[in-house]
Amino acid sequence: MVVSNDDLFRRSTQFRFWSFTRLQLEELRVVANKKGIEKTEERINQLDDSLPETKIVKDHRDQFQYVHLDEEKKLVSYYARRCKELASFFHLSAQSRSTAIMYLYKFYLYHSVMEYHPGNIMLTCLFLAAKVENQFIGINSFSKNIPKTTPEGILKNEYLILETMKFSLQCHHPFQPLYGFFLDIQQMLPKLDFNRLGKNYDGARELVNDSLFSDLPFLYTPPQIALTCLWVCDDVLVEKYLSKKFKVNRKDEPDDEQGLQHYNKILVIIRQCADILRKEVQDPSQDESKTISAKIKLCLEPARFGKKILKQTTEQLKRPASIDESPDTKRVKVESE
Amino acid sequence: MSSGYTKEKKVGEGTYAVVYLGKQVVTGRDIAIKEIKTGTFKDGLDMSAIREMKYLQELKHENVIELVDVFADKDKNLNLILEFLPSDLEMIINDKKIMIIPADIKSWMLMTLRGLHHCHRNGILHRDLKPNNLLISPEGYLKLADFGLARSLGHPNEKLTSNVVTRWYRSPELLFGAQHYSPAIDVWAVGIIFAELMLRTPYLPGKDDSDQLVVTFQALGTPTEEKWPGVSHLPHYNNLTVFPEPSRQELRNRFPAATELALDLMCGMLSLNPNNRLDTKACLLHPYFTESPEPTEPEKLPQKS
């Protein structure tokens, strides 16, 4: 039996556990989001009935704001971007950085931000990824460099993340295939202007970094993403390379039938991939993240929601009260304290 | 214990794990349980445990130990469920009651190289090959085990630590402290194991790191710039006694039972210059494996007494 390189990839955990269709991805996220809502409802049901805010929470249940599906994704992407910055701060390699980001996105295919705040999970993902990629940072120096963290707080989630990763830690990123294409293009097109290729390679590397903030790594293989990034930077060059590679579009000879099929198939994939790369790379603003985080705070501690409404009603009552202080408003105020 | 495994008896304890024998309840299959000590390390899960889990999850091959399952018990200990492999090549080499014939050696070499080829194709360096990491199944199959030092073959510019591989199996580039090395370090270790199988005693048993250099070059000659361009720039290349390369006849005398092709293969694996060393594919295609005698069937290989 001959085992091809494609076979090897199909045996990898990246293919077996972490490659999806768009529909499958959507379904996983819907389930995770539902789980987050259910957990929040449980928390509401478990509130202490002797507290005044509990009744208010239960009376205003229809107004309770859960985190939406697209908000979940936005917030995870926001922290994935922060993860990238933090990785640079620790001088981690592209490999470690990208692995950490992938752990974060993988984690939220099975959990909701309403269960675990991505701000915390992100730190543990980075700490773990550095170990997995052989760039160990001691927990004390790691924590010391990140304000408002403790070693225990970061380590606490390590196990949960490992479990969610299904204990499969290896991540293949497009950097190596990109370098492979860079070398192979020089081999196939020896007369090519090296500056042009170099510029293309640098641009593509940037795009590979961007591709992490979309669903591309779950939908396409690392070489497909690498080739797409090169194509987006310089489509003429990549198409020239591919037609030489597959022996098509030659002046002197007829096209190789099988080669033509491969060529067309690859270009279709590249175009689909490029479409996602152009439209779906996420970079949410800090304001957006703050709004979503505020919601999560209430989901994690629903009592706060009751207190918030109490405060609002008190303030509403207080406003006319400043003109005409009625004994009624005073009573509400006392109750709320 | 959850997840359908029983722990029956403790068989060993290492720095980061305790090993038990047990059974998979549903199938009754014998298994080994490597319970990773958690909580004892201030930096969370130990690096060796991470490496072992990371790589074994990716490697499924007849000649690589199978990771059957991973799970957490109620105390949040991590358990690696491995296939049960009761013996290893070191036990067999040391068991003087066992007679080893050339066809047996060929069989073990073939299985070792097949397992290693699979690792290298997947971009994984083992970095600790030695006879007691080559485990033997009850059916006689040899399997690479202990991936606690393994790592991925990264970018060519990445620096690696040369402090890997147990001393006697360490290649010249590692002894010289090279920070860039390749799958060739594993091939060297297999070459040394090949020699050890033929000699029934360790081939290059250095007493310490500097003695290892002496022992290695006494046996195989001291590398020079001429044979290995760039070697003199490696960190620990200094004050070397220059030993001549052994003649073919000297090698024949040292390995009297080896055929000419067996010696060819061994020398190809023990090329001092890593760039000239055979890779696993070239080893597997070597005519040694197709000359007579045929490798012994795994089931018929000698087992520890």
Condensed to tens digits (0 to 9), the pLDDT of residues A89-138 reads 999 999 999 999 999 999 999 999 999 999 999 999 999 999 999 999 99
| Residue B164 is assigned to a ligand binding site | no
- Mean pLDDT lowest for which of B35-39, B161-165, B233-237? B35-39
* CA A159 to the chain's CA centroid: 20
Q: Is B16 annotated as a binding residue?
A: yes
Q: What pLDDT does residue A331 have?
A: 42
Torsion of CA A326, A329, A331, A337, to 10 degrees: -140
Confidence tier at A47 by pLDDT (50, 70, 90):
confident
Domains of chain B: 5-83 (3.30.200.20), 87-300 (1.10.510.10)
Q: Identify the band that residue A335 occupies on the pLDDT scale cut at 50, 70 and 90.
A: very low
**B11 annotated ligand binder:** yes
3 state SS of B35: strand
In this prediction, residue B296 carries a pLDDT of: 97
Q: Which of A64-78, A189-203, A250-264 has the lowest mean pLDDT?
A: A250-264
Question: What kind of architecture, by CATH, is found in domain A175-279?
Answer: Orthogonal Bundle (1.10)
Going edge to edge, which strands form the sheet with B134-136?
B87-88, B134-136, B142-144
Average pLDDT over chain A, rounded to whole?
A: 90
**What residues of A are in contact with residue B53 (Cβ under 8 Å)?**
167, 169
Chain A residues lying within 8 Å of B60, measured CB to CB: 11
State the average pLDDT for chain B.
93
pLDDT at A255: 75
Contact between residue B243 and residue B216 where contact means Cβ atoms under 8 Å apart: no
Distance CA A280, CA A303 (A): 36
Q: How close, in Å, is residue B218 to chain A by CA atoms? A: 35
pLDDT digits (tens, 9 = 90+) for B45-81: 889 899 999 999 999 999 999 999 998 777 777 899 9
Instruction: Give the ipTM.
Output: 0.90
Q: Any binding-site annotation on B34? A: yes
Give the closest-approach CA distance of A12 to chain B in angstroms. Answer: 5
Do domains A65-164 and A175-279 share one topology? The answer is yes
Distances from the Cα of A278 to the Cα of A223, A230, A272, angstroms: 18, 13, 10
What pLDDT score does A303 carry?
A: 85
Comparing A22-31, A258-267, B107-116, the range with the smallest average pLDDT is: A258-267
Pairs of CB atoms within 8 A across A/B: 58
Return the H-helix or E-strand segment holding B21: strand B17-24
DSSP code of residue B91:
H
d(CA B294, CA B106): 8
How many residues belong to chain B?
305
Query: Distance (Å, rounded) from C-alpha B83 to C-alpha B61?
Result: 12
Q: How far is CA B229 from CA A12, B225, B234, B276, in A?
A: 38, 5, 11, 11
Predicted local distance difference test score (pLDDT) of residue A98: 97
Per-residue pLDDT tens for B222-240? 999 999 999 999 999 987 8
Token pair listed for A273: 């991939």
- Residue B239's region, left for phi above 0, alpha for psi from -120 to 50, else beta, is left
Distance, in Å, from the CA atom of A28 to the CA atom of A69, rounded to the nearest integer, reads 11
| Calpha distance A250→A315 (Å, rounded) | 78
**pLDDT value of residue A171:** 96
Residues facing B136 on adjacent strands: B87, B142
> In whole angstroms, what is the distance from residue B201 CA to residue B239 CA?
29
Residue range A4-10: average pLDDT? 91
Q: What is the mean pLDDT of residues A137-163?
A: 94
The domain ranges of chain A are 65-164, 175-279
Write the DSSP assignment of A284-318 as a string of letters. Answer: --HHHHHHHHHHHHHHH-THHHHHHHHHHHHHHHH
Largest interatomic CA distance in chain B = 63
- Per-residue model confidence as pLDDT tens digits over B243-266: 999 999 999 999 999 999 999 999
Residues pairing with B5 in the sheet: B24
Residue from the list B42, B72, B158 with its beta carbon closest to the beta carbon of A163: B72
The amino acid occupying position A304 is R
Q: How confident is the model at residue B39 (pLDDT cuts 50, 70, 90)?
A: low
- At A224-258, the pLDDT tens digits run 999 999 999 999 999 999 999 998 877 777 778 88
Q: Which residue has the higher pLDDT, A329 or A295?
A: A295
Domain A65-164: CATH class, spelled out: mainly alpha
Task: Determine the Cα–Cα distance for residues B254 and B251; give it in Å rounded to an integer.
Answer: 5
Is there a contact between B197 and B108 (Cβ–Cβ < 8 Å)?
Answer: yes
Task: Name the band, by pLDDT with cuts 50, 70 and 90, for residue B15.
Answer: confident
CA A216 to chain CA mean position, Å:
11
- Catalytic center residues of B: 128
Residues of A in contact with B44 (CB under 8 A): 127-128, 131, 139, 155, 158
**Distance (Å, rounded) from C-alpha B8 to C-alpha B22?**
5
Which token pair is B261? 């092709």
* A131/B50 Cβ within 8 A: yes
Q: What was the pLDDT predicted at B2? A: 54
Chain A residues whose C-beta sits inside 8 Å of any chain B C-beta: 3, 8, 11-13, 93, 95, 127-128, 131-132, 134, 136, 138-140, 151, 155, 158-159, 162-163, 167-170, 175-176, 179
